[in-house]
Amino acid sequence: MARRYFGTDGMRGEVGSAPITPEFVMLLGQAAGRVLRKGQRCGRVTVLIGKDTRISGYMLEAALEAGFAASGVDVVLCGPIPTPAVAYLTRALRLDAGVVISASHNPYHDNGIKFFSAQGTKLPDSFEEEIEAEMDKGFDCVPSDHLGRVRRLDDALGRYVEFCKSSFPFGLDLKGMHLYLDCAHGAAYHVAPAVFHELGAEVRVAGNEPNGFNINRGVGATHTEDLAERTKLAGCDLGLAFDGDADRLIMADNRGHVYNGDELLYVMASDRARHGDIGGVVGTLMTNYALEKRFKEMNVDFVRAKVGDRYVMEELRRRGWLYGGESSGHLIALDRQSTGDGIVSALQVLAAIRSQGKTLAELTADLQLMPQVLVNKRIPKGYDWKGDEAFMQAVAAAEKDVEGRGRVLIRPSGTEPLLRIMVEADDSSLASMLAHRLAGALSVD
């Protein structure tokens, strides 16, 4: 059954417009509660709710809490906290599900809802389909003596800080390292500084003054053009940028290089492979071909999943592998965390630097990425780009131009009304020219 409301990473949209309205979110919570109660054999069902720093988080949290309570499900509130922290705490507290109110890297006027299982993993499409089916039945409140209760988890942040620190190898520390942290005015603003400081690093922090409206605005993992420059001006060795809900990581050094998710995944996986078999690595359709080639040279299997960290996770679990990720900075290390985690991933990269005694530049020296150019073109809802004859002719021509030296990938975003046009080629000017030519060939304003 096709999902109507959920995309590749939960449900997301502009606040005040369907489906991100308080009425809809309350119905969503009530329907999700009914689904969870169906699978409960005994005892009460309890869910954990966390959120990022958007002003709309208060409203949606109240609506979601009301919906769950109306279905007879108990709720534990965490307040502003990283998405991966919800995954960890749901698992650690033996709860039935975790819910995050966040639109990740989107601007403040967007928001969204995503679910985690009791095991701290993204829930499959089938669960979301079941919730949508329940929503069609309408709102139905249980009798008063069966209503859910709500409480707040006051030490949620401290628990997560300690968990992150535990993912860093015992016997290593970050003493002598100077780190620049860009927290995107998001959920990492009061967590990330504590983690890296308590492990011994000297920390300079930016993007740590959320006001409800500035999340991701010119900062964070989606605005890293000047991250290396800011890192150098701060007198730091490395810069770490997280997105609004802190499940993405992009890094930079003070020599001018910005390291994307493909490079960081290479560092993490290759360092882990030094200590044992990791089975293989999962990337996505967007992963740079150079990474696939390099793992092949290392005799490490590599496969591609659909774009979206949930699909990377599904492929990892299906194959029993440990490491995967996306060039956007979603990185997964299943021997450390049950989902993508920006802070935990950063600690694995720093552990590789510490244990091998090399710089990040040295650790990535044998990985030469091919130039990729990505152009995002806004499209109207329901636009059939595959039926756009002129555009498809332009795609065929571009594929011919890069045959044997690159590739063209066209895909709609699962979270925004965008068509993503990516051209990868051995020549950056060619990739740029073709990508922009394709964007201009679309029959949209």
- Rg of the chain on CA atoms, in Å: 22
**What tens digit of pLDDT does each residue of 7-26 get?**
777 899 999 999 999 999 99
State whether residue 421 is helix, strand or coil: strand
For the segment(s) 11-154, the CATH number from 3.90.650.10, 3.40.120.10, 3.10.520.10, 3.40.50.720 is 3.40.120.10
Q: State yes or no: is 413 an active-site residue.
A: no
The mean per-residue pLDDT over the stretch 413-429 comes to 88
**Predicted local distance difference test score (pLDDT) of residue 238:** 98
Do the two domains 11-154 and 159-259 of this chain adopt the same fold?
Answer: yes
* Type of residue found at 96: D
**What tens digit of pLDDT does each residue of 154-172 get?**
999 999 999 999 999 999 9
d(CA 60, CA 26): 8
Question: Among residues 110, 96, 144, 113, which one has the least CA distance to residue 28?
Answer: 113
Dmax over Cα atoms in the chain, in whole Å? 68
H or E segment to which residue 333 belongs: strand 331-333
Written as six digits, the tokens of 335 are 């021997």
- Active-site residue, selected from the candidate residues 56, 102, 104, 167: 104
Domain boundaries, the chain: 11-154, 159-259, 372-441
d(CA 183, CA 198): 17
Q: Does domain 159-259 have CATH number 3.10.310.30?
A: no
Written as six digits, the tokens of 159 are 């628990």
**What tens digit of pLDDT does each residue of 384-413 get?**
899 999 999 999 999 999 987 888 999 888
